[in-house]
Structure 1
Amino acid sequence: MSKSIFFSYRRSQFLAAQLMLSWVKNERGPYATFIDVDDIKKGESWADRIQSELLRCSGVILIIDNEWQPAKTTGSSSEEPGLDLSDWMSRELFIAHVLRRQILPVYLSDAVPTDLQLPNELAFLRQLQHVNIRSNETLREQFEAEILPWIQALPHSPYFADALDGVEMVKAILKNLHQSLKWLWQFLMAVALVNAFRCVGEGIPGTMTTTESLVGTTLALLSFIGCFIRFYLGDSRYLDLSYLETTYERGLESEIHKFSPTKRLMDVVLLLSIGGVFFVMSGFLTQITQYLFGFVILMLVNVFWLVVQLVWRQVRDGRSDYGTTNTASPLTGGMKADDPLRIWVVNNVISMLLVMIAITLGWPIVGLIITLVNSVFDFYYTWPYYFPSLIKIRDAQVP
């Protein structure tokens, strides 16, 4: 983190300001500087930039000579003259004081303002320890002896000054949330996958003594891997879209207003519940009927969360001034945001019912085949969601 120094001056003090600025830049250390004539670009709002720099600065060096005179309002017969905010140097000092920034008055040729020269809002200047530059010849000497130690003792700029602004901070927060949830999801699924292969490995010499049991376990493993891949990809894409990608497509302001602690908590519970069911399923790959019951539970949990997501989006969009999120996007392969969710609900409900019928009729192999078909249908109809075209995203100019 750096220490940012804001130079406040009038044009008559420009030479002294430029000299001190150059000396600060020549110093080794985490120093950043701001002076309006050098740092405000053509076409940039100087008012916004000055207020932004005051917000992020560590301290203000105020340069005053005998020609400095803060502007005052005329006031009425019953009011004393006050601060004239159209005078930007006075406004800079007032804002810096309100923000509790450290201010170092540097008086050239003993140009200390009197109480009568200062409006009430700037009377605090009289209470500040200052540097009195005796002559131009002593400017460099006094800078090194008095001003530079003050700069070195300044606190670092506020975090958001280096972070660097509110927009970047929000993006960083979303990215950190995304990474924490992604790591949680990867850990849960990795544990389930390892447990699945451990279960099959331990079951080979004990339970798979017939061709039927060998075929059943093989189909169960294929079914588990198919479910594993599509859920891993699906929820990973969901996290990417929710916390990273749509922020850049729809605009950060929209995402901020549609984001909430409830959504974050819901995502954590969603990942834990799905990951937990996968772990339970992975322990029954050699017990086909139990595995099929696990598949039914997985479909029930998944359908529940899909319906919650659909309802949540409709309620959220209805309360928002930023429009619907159910729009086609290259990030979802040209599909509307809700289309994959509806496809998954229909596919999973039908598969769940068919598997329950197969279990009731005592046809476990048929039940396993239904679970495989469920994964095939899932990939076939929502492939663009899992693997959106990077070329289309680029051509749509999504950052």
Structure 2
Amino acid sequence: MKAARFYDRGDIRIEDIEEPTPAAGEVLVKVAWCGICGTDLHEYLDGPIFCPTHHTPHPISGETAPVTLGHEFSGVVEALGEGVTDLTVGDHVIVEPYIIDDSVDTGPESKTYHLSKNMNFIGLAGRGGGLSEKVAVKRRWVHKISQDVPLDQAALIEPLSVGYHAVERAGEIKPGDVALITGAGPIGLLTGVVLKALGATVVISELSELRRQKALESGAADHTFSPAETDVVAEVSKLTDGRGADVAFECTSVQPALDTLFDAIKPTGVIVVVSIWGKPASLEMQKLVLKEVDLRGTIAYVNNHPDTIKLVESGKVDLAPFITGRIFVDDLIGQGFDTLINHNETAVKILVTTDEQRLTEAQG
């Protein structure tokens, strides 16, 4: 079967590999669509980061490079391993793509398994990936979805879960709350639609005119401003009668954006840092102290997929506007990675398939 394999920085190859078979307790998923994530781009440009090297196996998966990429994917159940009785061949599913040690509690009440030692992801550290025809996944990480949800949109439930968890980390969101987001990339936009579904008024600060337009057209934001052209703090003050934003989300990993949030947040407000920072940030501690601001981090998701799926199935979130491209796996680098690296203003989420007929039907 075809698969996109990460060998090393700048070295991803489309190869034919052996099809997996589901072991006891596993589900064989025929992949429909897989999104290209910013993490995939970082591996290509700067890796290996999450991916193992050729000489150092991942401590849980035991795999070394090359590994199959892709962790934002949807598909159809093709076969069930021994002991799996609560799914049926033909079910539509998505995958919560974790690689976590078997000793860690991943039950429905756990709130910390995503922070466990050596945590990693299917499609980065081994165990197959969504940029292939099929993948065998432990039953725990497979989530059934309604067949009313198109499979291309279902592939966005994984990044939507990141936004859902970020909003959860902020605490209770009440209808009428004003939320400020810096950055209208995929995660900023998807965080926005979660907030909108909860009744918040969403303001996005974003330099790119195209991204600001997408935020409005997709329903991810009520108001957008360019920090290069507008005093974002003043605009938020106007919108809140001088109170300041109730909650804020940092989705850029850029220092001026973080500074803006501290100036725009209300006293006792919450700032959630969603972006991955590759360098230290500075913080005017006096602003945090004198406004009693809560500064919180968030990473990935933890038991958020069921509620995120319900949000999509209910129709409160429409993921279709965020799909800006569909390509065949052979074009992964030229039409996928190149666009997202060099022309990222023009794209939000590019989906990849190994099924030429599925691609033709989607484009037709």
TM-score (norm: length of structure 1): 0.23
Q: Which has the higher helix share?
A: 1
Q: Which has the higher strand share?
A: 2
TM-score (norm: length of structure 2): 0.24
